[in-house]
Structure 1
Amino acid sequence: MEIFSGHLRVLIELFTKLLKKLFCLLKMSIFSAKKISDDAELVASELVRVRQEKGLTLENATQALGLKAEYLLLIEKGAWSELPPGVYRRNYIKIYADWLGFDGAALARLGEDQGGVKFSGRLFHRPYVRTAAWEISRLLKIALLAVLILACFIYLGFYLETVFAPPRLELISPAENLVIASRTIIVAGRLEPEATLSINGEAVLADQEGNFQKEISLKSGVNTITIKARKKFGREQVVVRKILVEN
């Protein structure tokens, strides 16, 4: 039973670590939208700074790039989620960032994250929208699956413990370290049903309730009585009694 308890403690520790990891992932999902928004605003302010340092206006950008002024204004405000979705948002950000000397592709990816859109790589493929609610739902499903797996392991552990544990053996007689004058003694006790029993290597039958009794002959001096019980697949349970017979 101690071995099984140790295994159960290990399973509980692993499950606790898994729950902590899931909680961290859930926390990251909840706050990821805010982090991306903050990143967009930071980059947007840098776009404005560079444009102003170059002495350029939004009107210059509109004429040079052929983009609407309202879209450029949204980009510089960091409100990228308000841009037209999908490939349009990505291209607007990339074109404007490249024009100012930034890595347009990298900023376009940030714009995709802010909009919650993941592209498959094909230009006109329907985008797959992954929202924060979707992420939370996915993590909850993972947590539920982890709980079910742990429950299965615990059930399996109890089942295997029942199958492979040594049988219950209760010895009523004789007592330990007994000193007697008689040359015979009664060995009696109670055994777990379906278990087999032997006393000093000789098979002994128990009744339907597991009770057994057998008279053992003794010799003068110290006698050792070994009682062994065993189930079909389980470990062996052994009880030893030493009896001193006085002359």
Structure 2
Amino acid sequence: MGENKSLKELILERIEERELTAEKIIQMTEIPRHYFDALVKEEADKLPAAPYIRGYLQKIAVALELDPRTLWEMYKVEQSPKASGSNDRLPENRFAIKSKKAGWGWLAVLAVVAIAYLGINAGQLFGKPSLAINQPSSETEIVGLADFLATGIIDPKDKILINREEVFVDQSGKFQKSVSLQPGLNTLEFTVKRFLGRETTEVRKVIYQPTAQPLEEKQI
């Protein structure tokens, strides 16, 4: 390919064969317009250093489905590329994979913060929740009224269930629940649950002994 043809003729002929335009090639390759014109017009004095030219020819070859080495060899035969200086660099390839070092750095920072947070709050997240029952005040309590108020305190971030029913907890962690007792033995099961943590369960027994009616009331 390219025998008996100049670089200019080969590029322009290929553009025509593929039904493209110079504007389209410039858009596809992102080569500055004045450098593209200098290449096809063979104006070597208007071109940058050799590494840039080679990069531009490689982009043109890809766009036109040509061999990049062929275009570069043709250019070297026809022109004398300017030597690159110490500050010259190849054009940046916008399709190249970017360095991920910065991204990994942020991930490492986030990981350290997460580990530190878990270390400080491990007990709060995974520990066994606390439970302080005020009423009933003992494991077994005898009362004479059917209406009983169960009360206590937990961490306000936890939740409390009494006999498997969730009970409201205020901002200070206090809770209370009114229970209608049946004559005889009544069992109250207090269960505190913590998100991602364990549970704490205590069972209290309340014996309801209805107060005997006065004798005079029975005779009426």
- TM-score under structure 1 length normalisation: 0.35
The structure number with the bigger radius of gyration is 2
- TM-score under structure 2 length normalisation: 0.40
